[in-house]
Structure 1
């Protein structure tokens, strides 16, 4: 799978790469540090990601603002976006689903739980039939 990982925290990015390596995944991971970078990436490349993993709390453009722009675009709106965040705020959760996310996963404190959650996310999307823009 081609995955776009949108995260501003370097430690979280290292954690994702460590988990992907340990899970023996052969996924291509593209990174963006904020919503603006992610939109530039999405509009620059012909090959779109199969899924987007999105943090909510980022500088310059929040994850929710990014989602609003993404889901308003006639081509990009079909990209499955999974929120991967520390926010347990119910208002954030409801707003994200209202905008049109594919899933909302709260980052657990324990690394083993984080790895297990990523494994479940990847396995689900590996077998899912995706709409290709």
Structure 2
């Protein structure tokens, strides 16, 4: 099976480090790229706008300085060459307004980051399994 290409966008270096640790358990199945800001992620996606280089799914934090995750999500969904990429919000916020805003802006899913490392590992395991089974099966070959 081909690798699942994931773009993680999070401004917190500790959260990125933790996510890299967890995704390393899936290194044979997942190609993880990280960006520490929404503008960097948007630039990365626009530079790699050919389908062969785009991620299969974006994991996106909400609360980031400058450009929020919601603003990036809006920009992605407004860009015809990027709007098809599924975006999963990965955040510590469980506020109902944040959940509603994410789905209003067409996020594919909303995950609350677990503060427990073992539970976070289980979340990522489930994320990888889901997206491998449901995204890659019908995605064009690279």
TM range (shorter): over 0.9
For the 8 Å contact 1:50–1:79, the answer to whether it is kept is yes
Instruction: Tell me how far apart the structure 2 counterparts of residues 10 and 18 of structure 1 sit (CA, whole Å).
Output: 12
Matches within 5 A, 1:1-133: 1-23=4-26, 25-45=28-48, 46=50, 47-129=53-135
Instruction: Tell me how far apart the structure 2 counterparts of residues 36 and 24 of structure 1 sit (CA, whole Å).
Output: 26
Q: Which consecutive unaligned segments of at least 5 residues does structure 2 have? A: none
Q: How many residue pairs end up in the alignment?
A: 132
Superposed CA deviations along residues 96-128 of structure 1, whole A, max 9, x for unmatched, are: 101101110001111100010011011000011
Superposed CA deviations along residues 45-74 of structure 1, whole A, max 9, x for unmatched, are: 231000000000111100001111111111
For the 8 Å contact 1:82–1:101, the answer to whether it is kept is yes
Instruction: Tell me how far apart the structure 1 counterparts of residues 118 and 112 of structure 2 sit (CA, whole Å).
Output: 14
The verdict on how the C-alpha distance between 1:97 and 1:74 changes in structure 2, with shifts beyond 3 A counting, is: same
Give the TM-score of the pair, scaled to structure 2: 0.88
For the 8 Å contact 2:23–2:32, the answer to whether it is kept is no
Q: Which piece of structure 1 moves more, 73-82 or 24-33?
A: 24-33
**Offset of 1:8 from its aligned partner?**
0.7
Instruction: Tell me how far apart the structure 2 counterparts of residues 31 and 50 of structure 1 sit (CA, whole Å).
Output: 14
Q: Which consecutive unaligned segments of at least 5 residues does structure 1 have? A: none
Please give the root-mean-square deviation of Cα atoms over the aligned residues, in Å.
1.4
Q: Which runs of 4+ in 1 moved over 4 A?
A: none
